[in-house]
Chains A and B, each alone.
Chain A
Amino acid sequence: MTFTMSRRLAILLLVLLAALALFPLWGKLAFAAKFPFLMQKLTGIMILAILAMSLDLLVGVAGLVSLGHAAFFGLGGYVLAMMSPQYEAANLWLVLPCALGVTALASLVVGFLSIRTSGIYFIMVTLAFGQMGYYFFNDSKAAGGSDGAFIYVKPAVEAFGVTLLDLDQKLTFFYVALGTLVAVYALLRLLLASPFGRVVRAIGVNEYRVQGLGFNPMAYKLVAFTIAGTIAGLGGFLAATQYGFVNPAMLGWHQSGHVLVMVILGGMGTLFGPVLGAFILELAHFAFESVTDHWLLPMGVMVIAIVLLLPKGVAGLLIQWTTLPPPQAGEGGERSETGEGPHPPTAARRVPPSPASGRGEVKEAPP
């Protein structure tokens, strides 16, 4: 069984992706004055979306709710900041593998210690490790303390002395972030479709049954935790490159909580949901902020409304919309309101298992 998605939903997401990819063209016409700012904003959101997707692997798929995920995000950024020479460009082929290696190692160690606990205890242990990371950089003089550290020159992407990409170019970096976002999504989709991914998804549904089938859930959870941490590190590396600046707040629990909200709001376990969550939350923040000084108020109301009205997040709503039977097959609109109405057999067969309930799917594992 794969991570199924209805064709309509796939088309909808591709349209959104295309709109995003073409933003440098139409955005300039639509928002002439704010265009540079919006480019920067969207690039930042895409990086946060990468972080949210990696957290979804833990929260939505494996059932491991981490409240310290931003620690690896910040760590990836700090590795870049610490390794960058002051007035020269760092070599990307050196700093990127180092950043990924360090975050992979850190998440392996933290994961090894945390996965012994579960439920709310796991939330709190990851919070504790996240805060330890925060205070480590906050209190250490070498890393700039609470002021953070600057990266004056962006890493150079060169091969044999030829510059391949100029990360200083806003447009180039926009597409680097977009490409990474799509690549991470594809990677995670492939991973979840693999035998390894199936076991991780099954753990999210029923860990004991997985154990009963002869798997060692701890090993699978640890690998998933390490992969998620490393992807978060990649996101942090990109964020540090974009802003040319790292500070301890990147690692703090506020950041972790913020990303967790993106994941839940967007729709856990769907991978694309957290991406939508990142865009909705950040763009809503931006929109409210430009209208009122008291932007937290509408923001809070929006979050609460989404929880109360959309139990499966925004992704759940999209899945529901896109899997409705076509109108000619029956009174589609009416039935969607009652939800539980009697489905004609043709329409019922049309409805694929919803990815939002990804936790439920694996129950049909082959005997």
Chain B
Amino acid sequence: MDIWFFLIQVLNGVQYGLLLFLVASGLTLIFGIMGIINLAHGAFYMLGAYLAWWLAGLTGSLAAAVLLSLPLAAGIGYVIEALLVRVLYKRDHLDQVLLTYGLILIFNEAQRIFWGNDVHGVTMPAAFNWSIKLTEAQSYPSYRLFLSAVCAALAVAMYVVIARTRFGMWVRAGASNRDMVAALGINVKLLFGVVFAVGAALAGLAGALSTPITSVAPGMGDTVLILCFVVVVIGGVGSVKGAFLGAMLIGLADTFGKVFVPDYASFTVYGVMAAVLLWKPRGLFA
């Protein structure tokens, strides 16, 4: 096989993995810190994508739309946490599953009411209307590189915040022992609210940034949700490092699966997951 072709697939896989990481990191933090299985996390991805498409249409600029959709997704996340999720901290995990399932239904219907059932697309911003020529026939679109760079920068920023700041210390402490953090006098309610909102914003950002390369369609949140659960579980629930590794693994497995075994591409992702869990039943980092 051509080395350039291989390189393009690796880049695609990494880019897909980084995008998944943005969504999955929020999911793993919400589970690790708050103990909430948030099925509605994929809905924020969808929300981000629809907001970006809708605002891009209104403002005429995708950049403005992405920047506007970020606080919107965070705000909606914060409100949902304060109104609904907060009631369930002491409840069984399955009650949370059921509640967030109900939220998915509401989100999906709200999307249908506001934006209809059609599949939409966002045109590539003019600034990225070029690609890097690799050989005579093959080139790599600049937007995908930009997307990878943004996601990687966010991953680094997340690492710095979690490892180096006081807020990150709370987050880490919350992930390892929630009750102790509360006992130490840290405002857990606020911490949970912020984590949920940040998770929602990250998922929304991933959705918004992906609009030029994927279509904005109903049900897009569900696919991403399941893949992100796979990522989180492979990495070990609650571990951001694990989520990163898991996202890379799944991004590459999915991309290469589509190239080498197109008929069984979706199979590869779940195959990787089953293999990892049979080897390490609690994920790679747990």
**Closest CB-CB distance, A111 to chain B, in whole Å?**
13
- Whether A90 sits at the interface, judged by CB under 8 Å, is no
Residues of A within 8 A of B271 (CB): 132
A297 touching B263 by the CB < 8 A rule? no
Residues of B within 8 A of A127 (CB): 226, 229
Residues 126-164 of chain A: 1 if any B CB is under 8 Å from the residue's CB, otherwise 0? 011101100110110000000000000000000000000
- Whether A271 sits at the interface, judged by CB under 8 Å, is no
A297 touching B110 by the CB < 8 A rule? yes
- Whether B182 sits at the interface, judged by CB under 8 Å, is no
Q: How far is the CA of A61 from the CA of B52 in the complex (A)?
A: 45
Residues of B within 8 A of A136 (CB): 267
A120 touching B98 by the CB < 8 A rule? no
Within the complex, which residue of A124, A265, A308 is in contact with B273, where a contact is CB–CB below 8 Å? A124
Dominant SS among interface residues on chain A: helix
- Whether A300 sits at the interface, judged by CB under 8 Å, is yes
Q: A120-B31, A132-B270, A304-B84 are in contact. List 13 more A-B contacts (CB 8 A).
A: A117-B277, A120-B233, A121-B233, A254-B222, A261-B101, A264-B97, A296-B106, A297-B105, A299-B102, A300-B105, A303-B98, A303-B101, A303-B102
A116 touching B109 by the CB < 8 A rule? no
- Whether A125 sits at the interface, judged by CB under 8 Å, is yes
Residues of B within 8 A of A124 (CB): 229-230, 233, 273, 277
Residues of A within 8 A of B273 (CB): 124-125, 128
**Closest CB-CB distance, B116 to chain A, in whole Å?**
12
- Whether A332 sits at the interface, judged by CB under 8 Å, is no
B274 touching A301 by the CB < 8 A rule? no
19 contacting pairs across A/B (C-beta < 8 A): A59-B94, A118-B281, A120-B233, A121-B281, A121-B283, A124-B273, A125-B273, A127-B226, A128-B230, A131-B226, A135-B270, A138-B266, A261-B98, A264-B98, A294-B112, A297-B105, A297-B109, A297-B110, A297-B113
Binding site for A on B (CB under 8 A): 31, 37, 84, 87-88, 91, 93-95, 97-99, 101-106, 108-110, 112-113, 222, 226, 229-230, 233, 237, 263-264, 266-267, 270-271, 273-274, 277-278, 281-283
**Closest CB-CB distance, A279 to chain B, in whole Å?**
17
User: Please, how many residues of chain A have a CB less than 8 angstroms from a CB on the other chain?
Assistant: 41
Residues of A within 8 A of B112 (CB): 294, 296
Residues of B within 8 A of A299 (CB): 102, 105
- Whether A113 sits at the interface, judged by CB under 8 Å, is yes
- Whether A311 sits at the interface, judged by CB under 8 Å, is yes
Q: How far is the CA of A362 from the CA of B102 in the complex (A)?
A: 32
A296 touching B109 by the CB < 8 A rule? yes
Residues of B within 8 A of A254 (CB): 222
- Whether A65 sits at the interface, judged by CB under 8 Å, is yes
Residues of B within 8 A of A128 (CB): 230, 270, 273-274, 277
**Closest CB-CB distance, B20 to chain A, in whole Å?**
15
Residues of B within 8 A of A125 (CB): 273-274, 277
Contacts across chains A and B counted by CB atoms under 8 Å? 115
Q: How far is the CA of A302 from the CA of B99 in the complex (A)?
A: 10
- Whether A257 sits at the interface, judged by CB under 8 Å, is yes
B84 touching A116 by the CB < 8 A rule? no
B95 touching A307 by the CB < 8 A rule? yes
B278 touching A301 by the CB < 8 A rule? no
- Whether A260 sits at the interface, judged by CB under 8 Å, is yes
Within the complex, which residue of B98, B105, B109 is in contact with A265, where a contact is CB–CB below 8 Å? B98
B37 touching A120 by the CB < 8 A rule? yes
- Whether A222 sits at the interface, judged by CB under 8 Å, is no
Residues of A within 8 A of B274 (CB): 113, 125, 128-129, 132
Residues of A within 8 A of B98 (CB): 261, 264-265, 303, 306-307
Residues of A within 8 A of B108 (CB): 296
- Whether A225 sits at the interface, judged by CB under 8 Å, is no
**Closest CB-CB distance, B43 to chain A, in whole Å?**
11
Residues of B within 8 A of A50 (CB): none
B281 touching A135 by the CB < 8 A rule? no
Q: How far is the CA of A269 from the CA of B179 in the complex (A)?
A: 29
**Closest CB-CB distance, B168 to chain A, in whole Å?**
24
CB-nearest residue of chain B to A124: B233
B99 touching A308 by the CB < 8 A rule? yes
Residues of A within 8 A of B102 (CB): 299-304, 307
